[in-house]
Copies of this chain bind each other. A is one copy, B any other.
Amino acid sequence: MKKPKFRAPKMNIKKGRKSKKNEVPGTLEYTGDKSGLPTKIEVFDYTADYYEYKESNSIEDAFDKRNTKHISWININGLHNTEEIEKLGEHYNIHPLILEDIVDTAQRPKIDEYANYLFIVFKMMYHREDGEFINEHMSLIMGEDYVLTFQESDGDVFDGLRSRIANSKGRIRNNGADYLMFAILDAVVDNYFTVMETISDKVETLEDLLFAQEDTKDITQDIQDLKREILKIRRATLPLREVVNRIEKIDSPLIEEKTSTFLRDLYDHIIQVNESVDIYREMIWGLMDMYMTTISNKMNEVMKVLTIMASIFIPLTFMAGIYGMNFEYIPELQFKYGYFYLWGAMLIVFFGLLWYFKRKKWL
């Protein structure tokens, strides 16, 4: 048995909560681990025939986007700089509790409806180009003609969307902020399918390992880690289902009739993701039973080898032991071919036992 290898990282079920125990509700504290970089702001302004893009490090560039003549998407990367988030909140008149949820990475997916805007929390999970798995806390505020998105750090799943806005591809430029919100969520959910593929591959790899039965590696911990991983994914996808369902049902002037069809399609996809999660959950839980039978099968084989070796040679040794005795009178010892007769008897016993084990299918 080798020494314990490096363990998989823990779930951040409650990370950051500790320090906030005695805080005033609504106090902003970033609870994630993606700090250090300056906050980066992207602003897209567009109508069917107008398009402007600005990148900035100053939060003031995200101001004055309400009641303009175009749709604005303001994407903020970096939540650790809570003062800037607070400034933005003041400008857009956002409740402190919402600001708290924006920077609290432990907040579960949810939707809150307000008079002038919708607030949606979700998780962006994807595989970066270099293969690393990213799980970011994200939130979104949608007003009449603007959408604010908040990410923990640089890098996301929206490059396709950016180019569709820039190049007026698809119907994005001819629709309002509600369609922009849909397009963002759609990109997020599309990436959940990719994540599920990775889980699928991991399950198949473990099943193949078990099936090959050659590895001596203990996969108990791998299975337990996979359980933890699927449960973590489920925490992101299951509440999002309710969120999308509620967006579709909301009776708000913020959401146009023609966007409903797209939201229904999004709902289809998030249900599909959740079905996959449930199936892989069952498959993963089944792996432990599968591993158990594999271990038992191996032990069975070990026992058979021992039993066959011992059952054959112990009686033979006994036979040899008989004629190693020093009694004064052992008639067989004086037989001329006694030694060879005994070899004959031993061979009979040997092949007899071989035949017996063969018949039992142990050989």
Contacts and interface: CB of A to CB of B under 8 A. Distances in A.
A236 to B, nearest CB: 11
Interface size class of A (residues with CB under 8 A): 35 or more
Contacts of A171: 24, 26
Nearest to A262: B25
B286 A224 contact: yes
Contacts of A10: 200, 204
A115 interface: no
Nearest to A213: B1
Interface string A151-183: 000000101110110000111100000000011
Interface in A13-37: 13-14, 17-18, 20-26
A256 interface: no
Contacts of A221: 207, 210-211, 290
A302 B106 CA distance: 45
Contacts of A161: 22
A339 B334 contact: no
Contacts of A1: 213-214, 301
B197 A18 contact: yes
10 contacts: A14-B197, A26-B170, A107-B272, A213-B218, A220-B293, A227-B282, A298-B300, A309-B315, A317-B317, A329-B337
A288 B289 contact: yes
A276 B14 contact: yes
A254 interface: no
A17 B194 contact: yes
A289 to B, nearest CB: 5
Most central of A172, A193, A336 by chain B CB within 10 Å: A193
Q: How many copies does the complex hold?
A: 5
A193 to B, nearest CB: 4
Contact of A311 (B22, B306, B342): B306
A330 interface: yes
Interface stretch (A63-71, A76-84, A244-252, A319-327): A319-327
Contacts of A197: 14, 17-18
Interface stretch (A45-53, A137-145, A263-271): A263-271
Nearest to A266: B25
B313 A200 contact: no
Contact of A194 (B18, B200, B286, B300): B18
A170 B25 contact: yes
Contact of A211 (B191, B220, B272): B220
